[in-house]
Amino acid sequence: MSEKQIVLIAGDGIGEEITNSARTVVDAAFAKAGVNAKWIEKKAGGAAIDAFGEPLPQDTIDACQEADAVLLGAVGGPKWDDVDPSIRPEKAILGLRKALGLFCNLRPVKIYPALREFSPLKPELVEDVDFVIVRELTGGIYFGEREEAQGEGPNEFAWDKETYARYEVERIMDVAVETARKRSGKVVSVDKANVLASSRLWRKIAKEKAEANPDISMDYYYVDNTAMQLVTNPGQFDVLVTTNLFGDILSDEGAVISGSLGLLPSASIGTGTSLYEPIHGSAPDIAGQGIANPLGTILSAAMMCRYSLDLPAVADSIEQAVTAVLDAGYRTGDMYREGFTKVNTQGMTDAVIAHLG
Ligand code: IPM
Ligand code: MG
Q: Is 252 a known active-site residue?
A: yes
Q: What is the pLDDT of residue 116?
A: 85
Q: What is the pLDDT of residue 159?
A: 98
Q: What is the pLDDT of residues 186-223, one digit of tens each?
A: 999 999 999 999 999 999 999 999 999 999 999 999 99
**Same structural domain for residues 62 and 169?**
no
**Same structural domain for residues 281 and 349?**
yes
Distance CA(118)–CA(256), nearest Å, equals 9
The answer to whether 253 and 227 have CB atoms below 8 angstroms apart is yes
Q: Is 12 a known active-site residue?
A: no
Nearest residue to 7 (alpha-carbon basis) of 73, 89, 105: 73
DSSP state of 195: T
Q: Which of 258, 274, 301 is the last residue of a domain?
A: 258
CA 280–ligand 2 middle distance (angstroms): 8
Crossing angle for the helix pair 58-66 and 90-99, nearest 10 degrees?
Answer: 40
Q: Is 316 a known active-site residue?
A: no
CA 35–ligand 1 middle distance (angstroms): 32
Nearest residue to 349 (alpha-carbon basis) of 337, 332, 329, 328: 332
Q: Which of 198, 226, 258 is the last residue of a domain?
A: 258
Distance CA(326)–CA(328), nearest Å, equals 5
**Same structural domain for residues 86 and 54?**
yes
User: Which residue of 9, 72, 87, 94 sits with most ligand 1 atoms within 8 Å of its CB, as the best mutation to test the pocket?
Assistant: 94
Neighbours of 217 (CB within 10 A): 14
- Which residues partner with 74 through β-bridges? 11
Pocket of ligand 1 contains residue 90 by CB under 6 Å: yes
Phi, psi for residue 275 in degrees, rounded to 5: -125, 140
Among the bound ligands, name the one nearest to the CA of residue 136. Answer: 1
Q: Residue 215 falls within a domain, yes or no?
A: yes
Which long-range contacts link 146-154 to residues 24+ away (Cβ below 8 Å)?
148/85
CA 207–ligand 1 middle distance (angstroms): 28
Q: What is the pLDDT of residue 254?
A: 92
**Same structural domain for residues 242 and 270?**
no
Residue nearest ligand 1's atom 10 by CA: 248
> Following DSSP, what letter does each residue of 107-149 receive, concatenated?
EEEE--GGGGGGSSS-HHHHTT-EEEEEEE-SSGGGTS-EEEE
**Same structural domain for residues 322 and 243?**
no
Q: Is 43 helix (H, G, I), strand (E, B) or coil?
A: coil
**Same structural domain for residues 296 and 268?**
yes
Q: Is 34 helix (H, G, I), strand (E, B) or coil?
A: coil
Neighbours of 98 (CB within 10 A): 18
Q: Is 222 a known active-site residue?
A: no
Q: Which residues place a Cβ less than 5 A from the ion ligand 2?
A: 248
**Same structural domain for residues 290 and 231?**
no
Q: Residue 198 falls within a domain, yes or no?
A: yes
Q: What is the pLDDT of residue 8?
A: 98
Instruction: Return per-residue pLDDT of the chain as tens, 357 residues.
Output: 789 999 999 999 999 999 999 999 999 999 999 999 999 999 999 999 999 999 999 999 999 999 999 999 999 999 999 998 889 998 999 999 999 999 999 999 998 888 888 899 998 999 889 999 999 999 999 999 999 999 999 999 999 999 999 999 999 999 999 999 999 999 999 999 999 999 999 999 999 999 999 999 999 999 999 999 999 999 999 999 999 999 999 998 998 898 878 899 999 999 999 999 999 999 999 999 999 999 999 999 999 999 999 999 999 999 999 999 999 999 999 999 899 999 999 999 999 999 998
Distance CA(188)–CA(240), nearest Å, equals 5
Q: What is the pLDDT of residue 86?
A: 86
**Same structural domain for residues 8 and 84?**
yes
**Same structural domain for residues 97 and 205?**
no
Domain count, the chain: 2
Q: What is the pLDDT of residue 328?
A: 96
Distance CA(69)–CA(4), nearest Å, equals 8
Task: State which residues form the domain around 65.
Answer: 1-110+259-357
Torsion of CA 201, 202, 208, 210, to 10 degrees: -160
Q: Is 192 a known active-site residue?
A: yes
Q: Which of 209, 237, 258 is the last residue of a domain?
A: 258
**Same structural domain for residues 69 and 16?**
yes
User: Which residue of 75, 90, 256 sits with most ligand 1 atoms within 8 Å of its CB, as the best mutation to test the pocket?
Assistant: 90
**Same structural domain for residues 223 and 126?**
yes
Catalytic residue among 238, 248, 316, 342: 248
Residue nearest ligand 1's atom 5 by CA: 90
**Same structural domain for residues 352 and 287?**
yes
